A and B are shown apart, each in its own frame.
Chain A
Amino acid sequence: MILSRLAARPILLVAGLFLALVLPWMIYPPVAMDIACWALFACALDLLLGFTGLLSFGHAAFWGGGAYVAGLVAVHSGLPFPVAVLAGAAFAAVLAVPIGYLSVRLRGIYFAMVTLAFAQMVYFLVNQWRDLTGGENGLQGVPRELFGLDLSDSFVYYYVALPLVLAGFVAVWRIVRSPFGRVLMSIRDNTARAQALGYPVDRYKLLAFVLSACLSGLAGGLFAIGHGFASLESVYWTTSGQAVMMVVLGGIGTLWGGVLGAALVVELNDYLVTAGFEGIGIVTGTIFVLIVLVFRRGIWGTARHLLETRSGGRGASPGDRPPGGAPDGSPAPTEGVGSPV
């Protein structure tokens, strides 16, 4: 069992890397870029939801904030696009400090409500600050500049931007596997015990929030540069909801699941838009409702659960384990949703 797991991880990594490299050959390159950006966004959100037990419903503020700042830097400075994207990520991290500081004092459902409210505030600010952001029209004409290289072809942009996306994935993976990540998981599984062991829980949560926001900003910046504009929709609450859906659809606390969920949702949206279907929310909402009612493990989580019960190994993977972690004081399950990836 453990052996097969050890063998599975490098295989998965190689397969994932291979897929990332050939994706623009398989599907329309701009869609491939969208998938890469949303996958990073979903992973960053999973860092918080799956590994810290915090459901942020306001991550559009960071994705969209990163998008706008990356766009503004690219428009006004003409610097190479990676600089603009990193500026967007840095902005998202800075923005996350006050929001996170106030939000991590609340738990569970209140955390979700408050992050949602703060994101809405960012949305109103972006909408209001028309001179800078273009208001409802969004920020138009964002250039793709990299030392005079011609990046107008989305195919080329994909490969130039891919290292940044992969760096983001590595960062999430490193965070989760680090001692810091272990503390986050202990907070998720049993906050009271983590506190009793002397960990400053709120500070850990805040740092996780800022890191997650920073990576979301990175993804948002790459998305904005890829599209050549930053839209008002990117800071709207539907964007936060979409990212949450990708994570839940793929499987909370699995990282790979977020990538899978992002790929499926982006493809589905692309298909619906191409088919001229008007009510995307009907489909998105139905998926949401169905997952929550009957498919709470998500795709990756279900697959892993099946594999584990098949091989007769540790089949104790919890099914209806709340994403918010076990309630304080109750004995924590030994293997949480965020067990080894």
Chain B
Amino acid sequence: MLQQAFNGLVGGAFYALLALGLAVIFGMLGVVNFAHGAFYMLGAFGSYVLLDSFGVNFWVALVAVPVVLGLAGVALERLFIRRLAPLDPLYNFLFTFGLALILQDLVKREYGVQSQPYPRPALLDGTVDLGLFTYPAYQVFVLALSVVVCAAVWLVLTRTRLGMIVRAATERPELTRALGIDVGRWVTPVFGFGIALAGLAGVLAAPMRAVNPLMGADLIITVFAVVVIGGLGSIFGSVAAGFAIGLVSALGNLYVPALSQTLVFILMAAVLLWRPAGLFGREESLS
């Protein structure tokens, strides 16, 4: 039971990292990035290719892959997303949807749909004694790192000037601009950062989940549900809902296995019924 709860938190760590990236991007640009799952998949494939073809180990990939993907995100924002930003957000949703299809099928063409193996880094191959039970060290590492990353982002958001701008632009974009703050300057770096977070989640997923071209697509739709549950436009809500949904689905899986895949959507329906703006969202963000 405790162990299952821990599994849930580890699963939730991936939801949280992806939801965090989606939320900051959505907050700054008003763009729902469908390609987020594709970048997660590219993160996992990036570390696989680095190891398989160049012998670059996990720890280098953990830094290099998110940086490269973040730069790709910057280019993407500069070249395309920016042009569509003044239009209805649905156009950017459709654009990133097309992009996700392209990335997914390019990888599928190259590597097939078979899952690629990726070994755990040697340092984390053992188990850790957590007092009540022993647990694979790698999973502990994933959970710890994602908590640290989320906490660091939280600190930046609450304690720095940049964080203030991002939060202000997320919650009251027009007012922030009216106060003379150049929101546009931060749009590109924030987009790149969000993509880098997706890449990081992908690298972390490689040793414990199947590395295949379809790994991102289904996950991202679940993360959409997580974001809706957490609260539309709420960064804190997205991360909290990420961990919470991971925990609840793992426990749900334990007691009602038949619902393992659908529980998150049932929760979403319940939240929509009770609070259409999500647990931490505000009603006005609906429009």
Interface residues of A (CB under 8 A from B): 55, 98, 102-103, 105-110, 112-114, 116-118, 120-121, 124-125, 127-128, 237-238, 241, 244, 248, 278-282, 284-289, 291-293, 296, 320, 322-324, 328
Contacts and interface: CB of A to CB of B under 8 A. Distances in A.
B80 A293 contact: yes
7 shortest A-B CB distances, which residue pairs? A322-B88, A288-B98, A281-B105, A285-B101, A285-B102, A121-B265, A279-B105
B97 A288 contact: yes
A114 B261 contact: no
Contacts of B221: 116-117, 120, 237
Contacts of B87: 296, 320, 322
Contacts of A241: 97, 101
Interface string B259-273: 001100110110011
A175 B236 CA distance: 43
A106 B88 contact: no
Nearest to A240: B97
B72 to A, nearest CB: 15
Contacts of A98: 269
B108 A279 contact: yes
Contact of A55 (B90, B101, B273, B287): B90
Contacts of A280: 105
Given A110-B232, A121-B265, A322-B87, A292 B224 contact: no
Q: Which applies to chain B's interface (DSSP): helix, strand, loop or mixed?
A: helix
A258 B78 CA distance: 32
Nearest to A244: B94
Contacts of B265: 117-118, 120-121, 124
Nearest to B213: A281
18 contacts: A102-B269, A102-B272, A102-B273, A105-B272, A109-B90, A112-B93, A120-B218, A124-B261, A125-B262, A278-B105, A279-B105, A279-B106, A281-B102, A281-B108, A289-B80, A289-B102, A323-B91, A324-B88
A291 B104 CA distance: 19
A288 B94 contact: yes
A89 to B, nearest CB: 23
Contacts of A328: 287
B74 interface: no
A114 B108 contact: no
Contacts of A244: 94
A279 B103 CA distance: 10
A338 to B, nearest CB: 15
